[in-house]
Amino acid sequence: MGPDLIKYKVSYRNVKYPRLEFKTGELLLVLPYGQDPKVFLEKHRHWIVKKNKFIRECLNLSSDKEVVKRTDEEFKGLILSLVEKICKELDLRINKVYFRQMRTKWASCSKKRNLTINKLMRYLPEYLIEYIVFHEITHIIERRHNKRFWGIVAKRFNNYRELEQDLFRYWFLIQLSACRPIPFGIK
């Protein structure tokens, strides 16, 4: 399937460099005013086709996945208890925990030890939420995704590669579900 057959949206903005985004599973071209989208699509044809194939595979592999429905209170309680448990385990301290809608990631941890949690994590199974929280708190020890970082993660989650793949599958499943009511798999 070529980029000419993939549905896309164009957003003209006051930007210096054009970019492609597939964050929600749909292609968005962010272009400077006056740039021809057809030229940009053709230039990045290979990347678009590859990324679209990856997203379709994730969606196909997510067909057996179920989104979990939690209240705000249940979700926040789960996060705070996991933060406390993991901080104790790693002998670390988190400054504050924030909850907000994030467009490109599940969570983040700042240099000031603030943990920001994507509200969409509420739809994930608990084992993935625990992995994400551990992953982010590990960034207090090692900021980069280097050998040391993955070594720390692997001590607790030796299957972290599989978990990362699961997170991709859920990302696109939840993103597409967020555009319409959450499908059949609600717990």
Kindly report, residue by residue over 59-90, the tens digit of the pLDDT. Answer: 777 777 788 889 999 999 999 999 999 999 99
Evaluate if residue 91 carries a pLDDT over 70.
yes
Residues 143 and 95 in one domain: yes
Residues 104 and 16 in one domain: no
Alpha helices in the chain (DSSP H): 37-43, 45-61, 72-90, 126-138, 147-156, 160-178
In the chain, the number of structural domains is 2
Strand pairing category for 19-21 and 96-100: unpaired
pLDDT in tens, 15-62: 888 888 876 667 888 999 988 888 888 888 888 888 888 777 777 777
Residues 39 and 92 in one domain: no
Within-domain flag for 141: yes
Model pTM?
0.74
pLDDT in tens, 127-149: 999 999 999 999 999 999 999 99
**How many of the other CB atoms lie within 10 Å of CB of 30?**
17
